[in-house]
Amino acid sequence: MNNAVIPSAFTNWLRVNLFADKASILITLLFCVASAYCLPAVLDWLLFKAVFRADAEACRVAQGACWGVVTEKYRVILFGRYPYQEQWRPMLVVGILLLSIIVSCRRFADYSRLALAWLLVMLFCFVLLRGGFAGLALVESSRWGGLPLTLLLTIGSIAGAFPLAILLAFGRSSQLPVIRALSTLYIELIRSIPLVSMLFLAAFIFPLLLPSRYSMDVFIRVLLGITFFLAAYLAEVLRGGLQSIPAGQLEAAASLGLRPWQVRWHIILPQALRATLPSLINSFISIFKETSLVTVVGLYELTGALTLSLSGDPNWRPFYLEGYLFIAAIYWCGCFALSRHSQQWLNKT
Amino acid sequence: MRRNDCFFVSTNIFSTGFCSLRKIVRWMLVASMLTSMPVLAGKTLDGIKARGVISCGVSTGLAGFSAMDSKGEWHGLDVDICKALAAATLGDARKVKWVPLGSQQRFPALQSGEIDVLSHNTTWTLSRDASFGIHFTSIVYHDGQGFMVAKKTGISAVHQLSHADICVQSGTTSEKTLNDYFRAQKMKFRPVVFENFEASLKAFFSGRCQAYTTDASSLAAILQRETRNPGDYLVLAEVISKEPMSPAVRRGDDEWFAIVKWVVNALIVAEEEQLTQANLDTQKEHGNAVVQGLLGNADDIGKLLGLDRAWAYRAIQAVGNYGDIFERNLGSGSPLKLSRGANRLWTHGGLIYAPPIR
């Protein structure tokens, strides 16, 4: 047989995916026409007629997008109010965090070591950003901002909320009435409060309740607020997973002489985690984006830093849209990577 | 464009809950303030000297008043007031900790002691002055709500806006003022309300409305920078509200209140006496009696404020006189190109006036 008869892989793919039946042929054609109609204009705006250099006058007369706003303001958008000369520190922190994420995606054989490594990484990032030793200037956490703040809040709150959520999920399905009632109360209470209110409580009310000689860093307070908030949601997700384990397994494990905590740790938890992984990742993605709410308590993460950099500058304020597209791209990369990674993980296990 | 006190960024669903929460927060803050008042009295200046910086609450970004540039430096009229304060009290205009605050956090931040002074483009009103546990010091800018129209509509005065579509941002004092004004004038209009600033502006430029309304200073910024051709649009000369902007301090510290008030007064008197950064040193030796007193070359009036002799000298040296500050941030030296208008000195027919420094 020759090549003309056997369809190549590509044409086969086309036939299966795009031209399988009449309906999909129609949809494919419609889509092609629509893209042919829209794409040139979109590309013109995005690239060919866009202005990339930081020149506000050129931007004002340009037909396309003004990426110059990013060229001009990227330091403020990415690092917020962090002192300009010291911005290598947040830059380093972003690098370390991304590297750690990539490394821990590849190798996750030993969970306890991984957890310890992450604890050290987070502590190092915190200390590096804060400074105040070895010639590094002290930078208060109220001046941290932009991407490192978004990443630290997301990773920190997930890392803190996860163990708490496991305890709460077991607590809520516990046989002991007091523990069950307390866990239920916590979960229902927290889930009835919006995150903004939680942040407001953490940022403004909590310091009033502390005796005046103690003060807690605003970053830590807000991080704790998000952590407690996220824990309640994760606990409910996990509880669904716990309930999906058939009772027969528990009885079998108990009859083998395993202690209750061994049953939970070795039998229930691994299966529950696998069953709930998509929902967990869903929660992680949503908390990644919800960190943008910390702007209301005066911490300027990505979206807040964008507002800070543009709203007072009459030259660049008209190009808000491009600024928002820039941070949307950053958020998209984060969310997409998370969801792809969870799929890989699901396939492996 | 000032937001109402009960308003939250742009997510409407939260606004009701958030509003009541904010009331609770405010009451808790006021309550905590009342209990801690005796400790704070007279201590703000001591605290500033101990810390070595003034904590200054500014707007997160309002062209000409407070804005952070690409290198993280702050500029603007409100910003310069704080720099002058730092120069007068600490001897260095750079010793300011900038605390950018949204409209909804600015009063709690002042009440809770997080900031020493609020220099935030805030309108002085009775309810704020009487019930928020704060004192306004003195007016640094007279604003008012104005209208922008396209020239081709032929509208040149507010009374011609009868039955017009007017674009306005929801949840702002501008919206309320607009309604009140038209009702009082027995004129009809159709409000075209948008949640956010960009959308309402887009609607106006696309011809959806005959007029766009917000504070006159913001209109000037929009006219200069957000129109393709500023000549196609007109900002009407009339304003329909009084928006006197003033710094504010926490109640319970009269000494600090006096310092903030008199540093601003010194900047105004400096303009009256035509003192600038350039002629400061010669005027200190050869100026008239008022100038000699102001610059600490005669009686030591700084002592009465708890400051040293050269307090006003340093403030003027740091930021110039009131007129310099205005021109640099809002006037000819800025992209906004605002005219002084009501913010001329009283001697030139404006409203800027300071009691004598003697």
Q: What is the pLDDT of residue B3?
A: 46
CATH architecture designation of domain B145-241: 3-Layer(aba) Sandwich (3.40)
Report percent pLDDT > 90 for chain A. 50
Whether the predicted pLDDT of B321 surpasses 80: yes
Q: What is the pLDDT of residue A18?
A: 82
Q: What is the pLDDT of residue B26?
A: 58
Tell if the CB–CB gap between B104 and A310 is shorter than 8 Å.
no
pLDDT in tens, B106-153: 888 898 888 999 999 899 999 899 999 999 999 999 999 999 999 999
User: Cα(first)–Cα(last) distance of chain B, in Å?
Assistant: 38
Report, as an integer, the average pLDDT of B321-333: 94
Sort out which chain B residues have CB atoms less than 8 A from A204's CB and list them. Answer: 25, 29, 108, 112
Q: What is the pLDDT of residue B25?
A: 56
Decide: B108 and B29 in contact? Cβ < 8 Å. yes
Q: What is the pLDDT of residue A326?
A: 95
Whether the predicted pLDDT of B16 surpasses 50: no
Residues 6+ apart with CB under 8 A from A110: none
pLDDT in tens, B145-160: 999 999 999 999 999 9
Residues 6+ apart with CB under 8 A from A70: A77, A322, A323, A326
Considering only residues B22 and B312, tell me which one the structure prediction assigns the higher pLDDT: B312
How far does A81 lie from chain B, in Å, by closest CA? 6
pLDDT in tens, B281-301: 999 989 899 999 999 888 888
Tell if the CB–CB gap between A296 and B102 is shorter than 8 Å.
yes
| Contact B101/A at CB under 8 A | yes
Tell if the CB–CB gap between B14 and A82 is shorter than 8 Å.
no
At residue A202, φ and ψ (nearest 5 deg) are: -65, -40
Where is average pLDDT lowest: A254-258, B31-35, B63-67, B267-271? B31-35
Rounded (10°) angle between helices A302-310 and A68-79: 130
Sort out which chain B residues have CB atoms less than 8 A from A314's CB and list them. Answer: 63-64, 221, 224-226, 335-336
Report percent pLDDT > 90 for chain B. 59
The overall average pLDDT reported for chain A is 88
How far does B167 lie from chain A, in Å, by closest CA? 18
CATH fold of B12-142+245-348, please?
D-Maltodextrin-Binding Protein; domain 2 (3.40.190)
Sort out which chain A residues have CB atoms less than 8 A from B104's CB and list them. Answer: 296
Report percent pLDDT > 70 for chain A. 96
| Contact B99/A at CB under 8 A | yes
Q: Which residues pair with A94 in a beta bridge?
A: none
Q: What is the pLDDT of residue B40?
A: 44
What count of other Cβ atoms lies within 10 Å of the Cβ of residue A262?
13
Residues 6+ apart with CB under 8 A from B88: B259, B263, B266, B307, B311, B312, B314, B315
CATH of A70-348, one of 3.40.50.300, 3.40.640.10, 3.40.50.2300, 1.10.3720.10: 1.10.3720.10
Q: What is the pLDDT of residue B9?
A: 37
Q: What is the pLDDT of residue A36?
A: 92
Q: How far is CA B168 from the centre of its chain?
A: 21
| Contact B234/A at CB under 8 A | no
The residue written with tokens 């500050």 in the block is: B325
Q: Which residues pair with B102 in a beta bridge?
A: none
Whether the predicted pLDDT of B65 surpasses 90: yes
The overall average pLDDT reported for chain B is 86
Chain A residues with CB within 8 Å of chain B CB: 60, 72-73, 75-76, 81-84, 142, 194, 196-197, 200, 204-205, 207-208, 212, 295-298, 300, 307-315, 317-318, 320
Sketch the domain layout of chain B as residue ranges: 12-142+245-348, 145-241
Residues in chain A: 349
Whether the predicted pLDDT of A171 surpasses 50: yes
Sketch the domain layout of chain A as residue ranges: 9-46, 70-348
Decide: B223 and B336 in contact? Cβ < 8 Å. no
Report, as an integer, the average pLDDT of A139-165: 92
Confidence band for B23, pLDDT divided at 50, 70 and 90: low
Where is average pLDDT lowest: A72-76, B13-17, B273-277, B334-338? B13-17
Confidence band for A227, pLDDT divided at 50, 70 and 90: very high
Q: How far is CA B115 from the centre of its chain?
A: 16
Confidence band for A21, pLDDT divided at 50, 70 and 90: confident
The residue written with tokens 């892989």 in the block is: A9
